[in-house]
Amino acid sequence: MQRVRRRLAAIMCADVAQYSKLMERDEDGTLDRLKTYRSVMSALTERHNGRIVNTWGDAVIIEFVSVMEAVQCAVDIQNELSNRNSALPDMNRMEFRIGINLGDIMVEGDDIYGDGVNVAARLQELSPRGGIMLSQSVYDQVKAKLALGFEPLGPQQVKNVSEPVETYSVRLGGRNTPETVSDRTEDKSAAAEPKNEDDRPNWDKDTQAVANGFEQARRWLRAQPRRVRSCVFMIGLFFVINLLTSGLSTLWFVWPSLPFALMLVWHVIVGRREKQIDGRTQPGD
């Protein structure tokens, strides 16, 4: 039996967005395209000194010694596949989602395991089509060394990981730019915008600011414990009932919301103290 070893590595996980729909629509064509795209990924992986660990279905796991090589390889993959997709109808385009994490892994033979791999897989699930999602550990290593743009997306609660994971999206040019809330808002309002630049109202920045504010609030709420989310839900429920029954002429929702607001403040303070205590009691401190 081979001995399990540990090492630090950059792990890339990738899969095809909406793969089942592509297979249902055109099984033979999708399979041929998957083989072609995997050949592209394999060649780029070798160029960046990576190692394909495993493939199953439409997914792939790749290990890199260098985190910079891992991110640059991901960018090259998305750019190359974007160029190939541009010649295809939208319904036939095969777009990969990529997640990259730098962490400790367990190695047994040619296989790798552990939280380092698990986090990369969860980041891949969060990634938009044609996008790249990075963990905090990856971002810290490449933010000042690669000529790329990064968008902080805040902490995300992911499956089988106890603590929220700080996430960053890589800004890519062309058709594979990851879709954001502000992008969708601008797309919906594009038809209503005046064609003349001089006549265009200055609503873009305001709309984007509001959309980003809502998105950041939503991500913050998702990362909170259930008790905090419950308090926020009850306060919001009373506000909606107030709005539907009395409008904003009488703000009676404040009084039934007050106990939940006090509990919310208490939970936030206690949670912050617990994090500080956990930080002081970590092994090796």
> Which of 36-40, 74-78, 222-226, 233-237 is the least confident region?
222-226
The reply to whether 173 and 235 lie within a common domain is no
Q: What is the pLDDT confidence band of residue 258, given thresholds at 50, 70 and 90?
A: confident
The reply to whether 126 and 238 lie within a common domain is no
Domain boundary among the residues 181, 213, 236 is at 181
Report phi then psi at 44, rounded to 5: -70, -35
Question: Is residue 48's pLDDT more than 90?
Answer: yes
Length of the chain: 285
The reply to whether 32 and 158 lie within a common domain is yes
Inter-residue contact 111 to 10 (CB < 8 Å)? no
The reply to whether 139 and 34 lie within a common domain is yes
Closest Cα to residue 62, out of 77, 73, 51, 70? 51
**Is 197 part of any domain?**
no
Question: Is residue 201's pLDDT more than 70?
Answer: no
The reply to whether 174 and 245 lie within a common domain is no
The reply to whether 144 and 29 lie within a common domain is yes
The reply to whether 128 and 252 lie within a common domain is no
**How many domains does the chain fold into?**
2
This prediction has a pTM of: 0.60
**Is 243 part of any domain?**
yes
Token duo for residue 206: 């305001």
Q: What is the CATH number of the domain that holds 173?
A: 3.30.70.1230
> Which of 79-93, 106-120, 185-199 is the least confident region?
185-199
The reply to whether 114 and 251 lie within a common domain is no
The reply to whether 145 and 22 lie within a common domain is yes
The reply to whether 9 and 90 lie within a common domain is yes
Closest Cα to residue 126, out of 166, 93, 91? 166
The reply to whether 153 and 274 lie within a common domain is no
Q: What is the pLDDT confidence band of residue 284, given thresholds at 50, 70 and 90?
A: very low
Inter-residue contact 97 to 125 (CB < 8 Å)? yes
> Which of 86-100, 112-126, 195-209, 225-239 is the least confident region?
195-209
**Is 213 part of any domain?**
no
**Is 28 part of any domain?**
yes
**Is 196 part of any domain?**
no
Q: What is the pLDDT confidence band of residue 185, given thresholds at 50, 70 and 90?
A: very low
Domain boundary among the residues 158, 181, 204 is at 181
Looking at residue 240, what is its pLDDT?
81
Q: How far is CA 217 from CA 4, 42, 126, 259, in A?
A: 42, 39, 17, 22
**Is 214 part of any domain?**
no
**Is 201 part of any domain?**
no
Q: Supply the range of the domain harboring residue 247.
A: 224-285
**Is 217 part of any domain?**
no
The reply to whether 27 and 168 lie within a common domain is yes
Q: What is the end-to-end Cα distance of the chain in Å, rounded?
A: 36
